[in-house]
Structures are given as structure tokens and as C-alpha cells.
A and B are shown apart, each in its own frame.
Chain A
Amino acid sequence: MSFDPKEHPTEEWIAGLRARYPTERYVDRALTRKLRTRTDKAYQPQTAENIAERLREFLEKEIRGPFSVSNISALTGGASKEQFSFHLRWQDADGSARSERLVLRITPGASAAETHRLREFQLMGALQGALPVPSPRWIDPEGAIFGQPCLICSFCEGVTKPSGEAVSGMRTSFGPDYRKALAPQFIRHLANLANVDWRKHDLSAFDAPQQGTREGVIQQLNWWERVWAEDSVAAEPLLTLVGHWLRDNAPTVDQVSIVHGDYRAGNFLFSPTTLQISAILDWELAFLGDRHADLAYVIDPLFSEHSETGETLVCGLCTRDVFLDEYARCSGLPVDPERLRYYEILMGWRNSVIALGGGSRCAVGQTSHQDIMFAWLVPGVAPICLGALRKLVKDLF
């Protein structure tokens, strides 16, 4: 009987992948952990009872004095991590009563994009005051208490889409009033991100590439080629072809910035009354690299929507030209069309790897709490990703 190493990874097979696709230390840790914990058993979602017990055990080590945990409830809206909100009541050092609603983000058995909690924890800390992001509180990076790696952060009020907007996959349809209010903020926050001086903060879970080299791009290619080698459930020759081209044509990085990696409608919260963006979420795919990666991601057709007059709007918010012009104006940084083109291809290829690799593996292997979501998303998203990618590369060969 032959074993598929993807289903039953051996230490030798894992070592081979790590050697073949060298990437950032904490990316490697997360991917290696995923493989070492891969089993035939379906992942059992966390229960509120289990969460309550683990939270108490965890917080006893972190909080001096009495505290209580209540109102634990599972949050929707994420396919990647299991998320619960809860109320924490405790006493300050002066004895005054404090209460706060918090969010627990737990890595399931595996997710479409396997990432390390310490990276997003550090980034959320580094961006306090620079961008609206949840405030990180505690972390269990290796799952010592919770069994699975997790972090706790503040709960941010807001919605991701106008009320009544139907589930349609990756697109969000904002009306004209929402667009007018949200688009400038969406662009300004991304522009600010590129100018954050990341060297002033503890980002020890990131390996910064050298400016003026191809190192950062190669790390990205190795990251996602490794994911493809670990997770893909069926070969996809178009991805092989494009991966080959990306490696041959990798550009240098002109300025090393914090890149969100998943910046789009659906990953920010806004107040439905004031239309102010209250939080930028989902920092797990962030890395230090070229800002053009975020620009390329925003303009990916996967997230585009038509306006009432038929114009194509990036992330359902504004036209591509307005987005790029405003970004350049707000950030004071140039948008290089050549680099942008490369990153459109890289991010389109990465989207396909995540959908067809990690997403398919989750559905087939029953590795997360969201098998049903992946079984729904993958067949819907994959042809859009591949179609956009083919369009980008069809004249390159």
C-alpha cells in the first residue's frame, strides 16, 4: 500500500521541503507545524465550554486578582481562524472594576493559509496609533494552553459591508454614498502603512529582506511554492508555468515596507452610521516587502465589482486609476507600472495557490471548522483566479 506524503507527511519529506523552499523562520515554523499535526481525523471545532475552561486556565497566568469570563460566542465572517468574542471582567491594580469585550483567534487543525500567530500579534502591536487595528493583548503562540496557537485582541465595533448585502463570495457591493466615504479612507490607510517605520518596532518574527535585492520576492515564491507542494490536491499546469516565469523575472525591492497581504473589502470594519473605518483586520498574511504587492492585491479582479453605471471598481470602492493615483498622492511613493505588473501576477498566482492548494486541502482533509465554506468557495473562486492570471500572462511567452 502506498502512502501519499501530503496526507501522511514523514519527517524526511518535511525536511526535503524545508531545504528546497527556504523562507522566513516563522513562516517555516507555521508550515512545519501544519504538516506535523496533519492527521486522518476530521478537526473537531472548539466548543464554548472548552473555550471557557481554557480561557480561565490561560488568564489565571496573565491576570493578577479575580476575573471572570462570560458571553462567549463564536464569530462568523472568517474562513481562516476560529474566532470567539467574550467579555472579560477584572480589577485594576487600584481595585477598580474593569470590563472589556475581547476576541480570541485560534488556529484550527489547518487553514487555507497557514500562518504564525506571533507575526500578526507583533504587527498589531507595531501599528497601534498608526492605523486603526485591534489591540493585541495576549498570545499562546504554540498552543501550550489552548492546544492550538491563538491570540487575544480587542473587539472592534463595525461591519464589513452594507446591511442587506448578500453573500457572493469575495465581492462587496457598496452604494455610492458608502463608496464616497470609504474609498478615501481605504486608500489613505494603505498609503500610511507603506510609510510606517517598521524598524522602530519589535518585529522579530519577520525576516526583513535587503532593500535593492530580489531576496524578499524569492522568499515569497518559496513560501507559496512550498504551500503548493504540501497542499495541492490536483496538478495545475498553469500555476507551474507562471511559477517558473515569476522566478525568472523577480524584481528587486525599491523600499521595504509592511505589506498587509490581504488588504481588501471584507477585511476592514466601518461604522454603518458614521461610515468611518474602525479597524483593519486579518494581518496574518503580512510580510516585509514591496508595497506594490498590496496595490496589486487590491486591484485583483477577484474583488472587483461593477458600479451602477457598469464601471469596474477595485474592491467595489473606486476605479483602478483613482486608486493608484490617490495612493501615490497620499503616500508620496511612486507606483512603478513594471513592478505593479509583476506583483499582479505574483498575487494572482498566490491567490490561486491559496484557493486550489490550502483551500482544497482543508475541504478534502476536513482540517478546519469551515470545510463547508471551503467546499463552497474553492470551486467558485478558483476559475476567477486562474482566468485573471491567464489574462495577465497570456502574452508573456
Chain B
Amino acid sequence: MLIDDPVRIRSLIRAMQDVVIPSIAPEAQLALEQANLVRQHLSLMLAQADYAYRLQFSELVHFSAMLGELIACLPAAAHSTDLDNAKELLQRAQPIARLRVPDRGELARLTDDVRETADRILKAALDHGDATRKQAARIVLDYAARQIARERVAVKTAGFDLDAATLPDLKDVT
């Protein structure tokens, strides 16, 4: 993402802290209390932002392991639809739970490195002959089309895009 969640959340905290809260009249007790709660919620979200996905993933690992042990503790002869469904679900969950999921920060740093390196290689290609330059340009333009489509959809409800109504839903974009 162009501006990632921690940056956005930090900007919200600053606006609440530096502009909004100091402007609330002291007698508006409820507004003041709720504004401070907004700031505190945001601070907690900021602290969790890099790790939120990993924490959710840990939950999957945790409950998959628990489910596996609970299934194993039933007598071998036990049989029910619930148990069959549980075994089937566990078969789907376990391969995912075995994956290594990077923290958001690690993922962002790796993405930035790959972007920077792609840009350096492009600069080198642009200094080569016509054929290489043209081929590199085609690659950049093709990938830019996909990147732009993804980013337009990501913010289509924000009101910036004149043609937002023609864009697919966020859930349908990869």
C-alpha cells in the first residue's frame, strides 16, 4: 500500500491530539471523554498494526492444535457427523497453519526492497539499446496497469475516482 496502516493511524492520533481534543470546550465532558477514547483506541491499534495478522494466524495455529488434540482424545470407535466435519476442517486448516507468516513490517520492508531493485534494473535497461529499452518499457507499462487497477479499487469508496462505479469490488481483486 502507498500509505500503510501505521502511518494512517499515526496521522489520526496526531489530528486528535494536536487539533481536535485541544479544541473541545472543557464543559463538553462527554465529547472530551469520547475523543480521548478514540485517541487511545488508535494508539492501541497502532501498537498492534505490525502484528495483527500474525496474532490472528497464531489463533488459527492455536485452535487447530487444540482441535487436533480433542479429536485424538475421543475413543477410536466414536463416530458422528460433527466429528467427520471436524476432521475435514482440520485437514483444510493444518496446511495453512504450517505456513510461515511474516509480520506486516517484515513484509513491507521486503516489498520495498524488491520495488527499489526493480527500479534500479529498469534504469540499467533504459541505458541499453532500443530493443532492451522498448521491452523494459512494455514490462513496466503492463505491470503498472495491474498495480493501478488494484490501487484504484482499494480506495474506490473514498470519492476520488470519477469512474469508481465501473471498478470491481475489493474482494475480487488480487
A interface residues with partner B (beta carbon < 8 Å): 42, 44-45, 166-171, 234-238, 240-241, 244, 301, 304-306, 312, 356, 360, 363-364, 366, 369, 371-372, 374-376, 378-384, 386-387, 390, 393-394, 397
Contact = CB atoms under 8 A, between A and B. Distances in A.
Given A168-B159, A372-B11, A372-B12, A244 B126 contact: yes
Contacts of B18: 44-45, 369
A375 B3 contact: yes
Of all A-B residue pairs in the complex, the 9 with the closest CB atoms, nearest first, are A397-B137, A235-B119, A380-B160, A383-B151, A371-B11, A168-B159, A169-B160, A375-B11, A372-B15
Given A366-B10, A366-B14, A386-B144, 7 more contacts: A170-B160, A234-B112, A235-B112, A237-B143, A360-B3, A369-B19, A376-B158
Interface string B122-155: 1100100000011011101101110110011011
B148 to A, nearest CB: 5
A234 B148 contact: no
B79 interface: no
B151 A382 contact: yes
13 contacts: A166-B159, A169-B160, A235-B115, A235-B118, A237-B144, A240-B122, A241-B126, A363-B3, A364-B7, A366-B10, A381-B160, A386-B147, A397-B133
B2 A356 contact: yes
B interface, over-half SS: helix
A42 B2 contact: no
Contacts of A382: 2, 151
B116 interface: yes
Contacts of B8: 363, 375
Interface residues of B, number: 41
A190 B161 CA distance: 26
B113 to A, nearest CB: 10
Contacts of A305: 162
B119 A168 contact: no
A379 B154 CA distance: 9
B112 A237 contact: no
Contacts of B133: 397
Contact of B144 (A238, A306, A371, A379): A238
A238 to B, nearest CB: 4
B74 interface: no
A57 B130 CA distance: 62
A301 B163 CA distance: 11
Nearest to A375: B11
Contacts of A378: 2-3
Interface string B43-59: 00000000000000000
B134 A397 contact: yes
Contacts of A240: 119, 122-123, 126, 140
Contacts of B160: 168-171, 380-381, 384
A235 B138 contact: no
Contact of B19 (A42, A45, A168): A45
B155 A383 contact: yes
Contacts of A238: 140-141, 144
